[in-house]
Amino acid sequence: MVRLNFDNRFVTELPGDEARRRRMNRVNQRFILRNYLAQEAIDAAMRKDLSVIEKLMEAARHPYDDGTPADLTAKRPHWAINKPGCSMLACSS
């Protein structure tokens, strides 16, 4: 959309919030495999429970979907802060 600004010059109007959200969601994944999620899957698999791996695989197949379960998109839980394999790692680690 084009409009005149206060100097009577044509400027391109920025898209609204909804259009910006849709555009951002097309390029920003909702699901990202985190260390603590992988550790939960490993722990469950060691108990012969593969449902956590299946849940992660389904989310990984559709990483941009709004339907990704909230527990897979939440911040790292408190229990994972100091657990080996779950801490944040720098790129140089």
> What pLDDT, on a 0 to 100 scale, did the predictor assign at position 9?
61
Q: How much is the pLDDT for 51?
A: 97
Instruction: Give the phi and the psi of residue 50 in degrees, each rounded to 5.
Output: -95, 5
Secondary structure element (H or E) that encloses residue 11, with its range: strand 10-12
Given a cut of 60, is residue 2 above it in pLDDT?
no
H/E element, 3:
strand 2-4
Between residues 26 and 92, which one has the greater pLDDT? 26
Given this model, what pLDDT does residue 7 score? 63
pLDDT higher at 49 or 82: 49
Checking if the pLDDT of 11 tops 60, the result is no
The domain spans of the chain are 2-80
First to last CA, the chain: 47
- The per-residue pLDDT for 27 is 87
Backbone angles phi, psi at 36, to 5 degrees: -65, -30
